[in-house]
Amino acid sequence: MGRPDPFLLKNLCLSICIGMLIHSRSYGQCQNYQATKSYDTTLSNTGFAVYTLPFPQFDPDSGLLISVKLSANVTSSYGFNLTNLNPTPATYDLTVGQEDMYMVSGRPSVVRMTPKPIGTYTLGTGESESQALFPLITNNVTVDSITDATGPFMGKGNVSVRYMSFTYTSLLAYNSPAYTFSSSTISATKFSMSYLYCRTGIVLATDLTRFTATLAAPSTVQLDWSTVNETAARQYEIQRSEDGHSFTTTATMNANGDLSSANYTYNDVLPHGANGNVFYRLQMNDNGKFTWSPVKQVSVGSSGKNLRIYPNPATDHIDIATGTPNGDWQVDILSASGGLVQHAAFLQSNLLHLPFSNHLSAGPYFVRITDLRGQRVSISSFIVRDPG
């Protein structure tokens, strides 16, 4: 094998070092402005329970989400009764363990405590070993850290965390096919969820005064932003993500270089079949110095298979693409509490234009769409924003 070209090695090292320097600088800034938001709840059970826990999602406007930590701090007491029914003496080994399972959007993780030996007991025929409730586990902490699938945790609603707590018994009997055993457990868990993030103060470029993402058409997201005192050499990188964590640059725009103010619009056409939440941010490159916008979330699609609502957020109207051939429809706009806000009917159409008959206050709304022929009902949601 020949010796490597020194020139190539020098340039390779230079490229790697520059990349590491940029990454280190960006991450270092983030480290200085890291913050956490934590939520917790207290649970109790008798040895086995499955909980569905609602927690507030991380608001993308707060900054850049780095990781999510789920943890369970378990304290429990355990008692048992063991009787040897064998006609001869027998020996028993008793151990007890704790298992915690976390699941969010189908992503499971199981954390097991190393089983704790309780004791070895040699019992004659008919003899018993009993212990009343005694401390078994004290502040046993299990943790699941999520860094690569944070999308379900981002938004302005709630995320459901499914948590299972299970205290299990392992009884090993030597030369004893016959015995009776019973146990009891009282367990208390402090369950916590923490967001580690970079505060908006460092992520947000100081000269970025506005950044919005709106579903402008069924498969098009309109991005708008405004800046002041921007540098002429700046580049705006439009970045998209499906999970709110891993972003890919989809387009790059050169700055106008306006020292007073500048406004930009970019329409991002989504891949065919895109559905669910899509996340956007701007990465601003000023001669190798990087700053970022807050992350914005856009909901694409709905509970209806091909239903699309746009613009979303809306101001004075919504358009509904049913994704079906022409049909007859009843459309109801509902408030966040479920009250009827507006009602309309459409005949022989698959694109429904619905101006708001009254001014709607900013906030979330539901739309209920009934197929008057097939009597199928779809429900989706949209946001109304203040036009000012």
Query: 142 with 285, same domain?
Result: no
Rounded Cα gap, residues 208 and 335, in angstroms:
33
User: 180 is in which domain, residue-wise?
Assistant: 35-199
Query: 96 with 155, same domain?
Result: yes
pTM over 0.85? The answer is no
Query: 335 with 255, same domain?
Result: no
Of 266, 300, 334, the last residue of a domain is 300
Query: 57 with 96, same domain?
Result: yes
Query: What CATH number corresponds to the domain at position 381?
Result: 2.60.40.1220
Query: What CATH number corresponds to the domain at position 235?
Result: 2.70.50.50
Is the CB of residue 254 less than 8 Å from the CB of residue 243? no
- Residue 166 token pair: 């299970």
Rounded Cα gap, residues 184 and 173, in angstroms:
20
Tally of structural domains, the chain? 4
Question: Edge to edge, what strands does the sheet with 363-371 contain?
Answer: 340-349, 327-335, 363-371, 377-384
| Stretch 338-353: mean pLDDT | 87
Rounded Cα gap, residues 305 and 378, in angstroms:
9
Q: What is the CA radius of gyration of the chain?
A: 29
Query: 145 with 271, same domain?
Result: no
Query: 89 with 181, same domain?
Result: yes
- Kindly tell me if the per-residue pLDDT of 299 is higher than 60: yes
Of 165, 199, 233, the last residue of a domain is 199
Q: Is the dihedral angle over the CA atoms 205, 208, 212, 216 positive or is it negative?
A: negative
The pLDDT of residue 18: 31
Is the CB of residue 58 less than 8 Å from the CB of residue 37? yes
Of 300, 319, 335, the last residue of a domain is 300
Query: 162 with 296, same domain?
Result: no
Is the CB of residue 150 less than 8 Å from the CB of residue 47? no
Q: Taking all residues of the chain, what is their mean pLDDT, rounded to a whole number?
A: 81
DSSP state of 295: P
Angle at 249 between CA 246 and CA 254, to 5 degrees: 145
Is the CB of residue 327 less than 8 Å from the CB of residue 359? no
The pLDDT of residue 1: 41
The pLDDT of residue 132: 96
Query: 279 with 342, same domain?
Result: no
Rounded Cα gap, residues 381 and 304, in angstroms:
11
The pLDDT of residue 340: 83
Between 151 and 234, residue with greater pLDDT? 234
Query: 192 with 94, same domain?
Result: yes
Between 64 and 204, residue with greater pLDDT? 64
Query: 58 with 156, same domain?
Result: yes
- Kindly tell me if the per-residue pLDDT of 202 is higher than 90: no
Instruction: Indicate the range of 94-98, 245-249, 303-307 predicted with least confidence.
Output: 303-307
Instruction: Indicate the range of 127-131, 190-194, 237-241, 361-365 predicted with least confidence.
Output: 361-365
Is the CB of residue 166 less than 8 Å from the CB of residue 47? yes
Rounded Cα gap, residues 48 and 76, in angstroms:
12
Residue owning tokens 């470029």: 205
Mode of pairing for the β-strands spanning 327-335 and 340-349: antiparallel
β-bridge mates for residue 367, sequence order: 333, 380
Between 100 and 193, residue with greater pLDDT? 193
Cα-Cα-Cα-Cα dihedral of 107, 158, 167, 187, to 10°?
A: 170
| Stretch 129-138: mean pLDDT | 94
Query: 64 with 183, same domain?
Result: yes
Query: 182 with 53, same domain?
Result: yes
The pLDDT of residue 26: 35
pLDDT, tens digit, for every residue of 155-183? 888 999 989 888 888 888 887 778 999 99
